[in-house]
Amino acid sequence: MSLAVTEIFHSIQGESLHAGRPCVFIRLSGCNLRCRYCDTTYAHAPGESLAEARILERVNAFGCNLVELTGGEPLLQPETPRLIKTLIAGGHEVLLETNGTIDPFAVDPQCVKIVDIKCPSSGEAGRHHPNTLSRLTAHDQVKFVLGTREDYEFARVALAEVPSRVPVDHVLFSPVSGQLPPRTLADWILGDRLAVRLHLQLHKHIWSGEDRGR
């Protein structure tokens, strides 16, 4: 079994509830969306074909328990669920960053799914798999990347689909870097008394100007 891989690297987790933790990232190649603000367009390219054993060898060399599969869209590759299962069996804590267009609940339930629901300014709104939000578990997370007030209102409406078993601090509102000022989004959240988490990309503050392998 092999997968198309863009990069494998060790860094500080910059997003999700795990922000700030050391993490090994497996960035798989290919994406079925073309978001206008995408900051990883290089992952659209075919990438390097790596056998599962080679991926595990490179991951384990970092000696880090937390592993995230990201992309692109990791679930485009049918071998991804098996890799997740193998990583979990090996004692890793596994996160899956997905755009939700392919059923994310086909993977091992121990895997934490971070579902990025696309808003209007992405140009890809409404593409997520039916019932994705309603099937989130208590340890999953949902992220809305917001570039405009329209996006914010879209996300506010979508909150009604998130089940009550999902803790409110697992709902992440993240401003598009360089497009929506974090303070503006903070004002909107406070003004509407929304029970969500304001979410900034930590890695972009640490490694400003670098766009790969961090």
pLDDT of residue 180: 96
> CA–CA separation, 40 vs 136, rounded Å?
26
Mean pLDDT, the chain, integer: 93
pLDDT tens by residue, 32-83 = 999 999 988 999 999 999 999 999 999 999 999 999 999 999 999 999 999 9
Radius of gyration of the chain (CA): 17
Arithmetic mean of pLDDT, 105-123: 95
Model-level pTM? 0.92
The pLDDT of residue 199 is 92
Closest CA to 206 of 1, 14, 3: 14
Which amino acid, 44? Answer: H
pLDDT in tens, 7-32: 999 999 998 999 999 999 999 999 99
